[in-house]
Amino acid sequence: MNRLISDQQDEITAYHLYHKIADIVKDKENQRIIRAVAEDELKHYEQLKGITHQELKPERLKIWIFYQITRFFGLTFGIKLLEKSESQAIYSYNEQQEQVEGLEEIIKDEERHERELINMISEERLDYMGSVVLGLNDALVELTGALAGFTFAFQNTRIIALTGLITGISASLSMAASEYLSTKQEGGKDAAKSALYTGSAYVATVFFLILPYLLVANPFISLMISLGVAVGIIFVFNYYISVARDLDFKKRFLEMATISLGVAGISFLIGVLIKEFIGFDI
């Protein structure tokens, strides 16, 4: 019975959450679908209440968190999370079907919701995700490596930040131009938008990686923080991609983190060798 009560609370929570998300959906048809799903969730809540004989309140914190995630990461990401929630509900009801009567209709509704939510998934930011990946990956690998090398060679946070900024902005313009020419040659997607997504992802990554050098005086502590920021960016981005596109999060995260930190380690050693054998000093 406790599990059914938990499912009942999930239904009333989903009802309020779907209605809240529907308010920010621009497409009228998608908005209609989400509101219809919400009404079904309310119907399920009432059906389960008839079995448990308990009046439950929605989980306001869960609603707020899911709503903010949807606003920040986009409708597609939010819908994918909701779709996973529908899958969990189907699994839960299937396990209880033999012990509790009247769950067949709810299961059919949840399966239909899952299909409807999947069919809604279409968003520009996902269409251009390849361009974002290009900009973000290149910035992480190139700049973490460059900053590691600069840190030991210069050992001055201001000079490192300035050099990194010049390197990063120049590289972002180069990457954006390359993406524009490449996309235009292939046809299909908007070349200017592809270049914009690539350049924007690169510049944003550059800003976050250089920021520690502007806030912390010790260059080696700045480097550690910058590498931590890089891992954080890799974590958030790969979690987003894994949810939105049903990819293996762990594999992608470890691969990207290993490459970025590996290049940073090699570049740091190069900086040590340059300072030691060439005698370059600031």
pTM score of the predicted model: 0.69
Count CB atoms within 10 A of the CB of residue 205: 25
Handedness of CA 18, 20, 24, 26 (dihedral sign): positive
Q: Label residue 158 by pLDDT band (50, 70, 90).
A: very high
Domain boundaries, the chain: 2-121, 125-278
Percent of the chain with pLDDT over 90: 12
Look at residue 213 in the predicted model and tell me its pLDDT.
Answer: 94
| Structural class in CATH, domain 2-121 | mainly alpha
Q: Label residue 159 by pLDDT band (50, 70, 90).
A: very high
Query: In whole angstroms, what is the distance from residue 85 CA to residue 246 CA?
Result: 14
Q: Where are the beta strands (DSSP E) in the chain?
A: none
Which token pair is 57?
A: 């309140």
Q: Where on the phi/psi map is residue 248: left (φ > 0), alpha (ψ -120 to 50), or beta?
A: beta
- Residue recorded with tokens 């899952």: 114
H or E element at residue 211: helix 191-215
Indicate whether 124 pLDDT > 60: no
Which token pair is 122?
A: 């279409």
Mean predicted confidence (pLDDT) in 152-156:
83
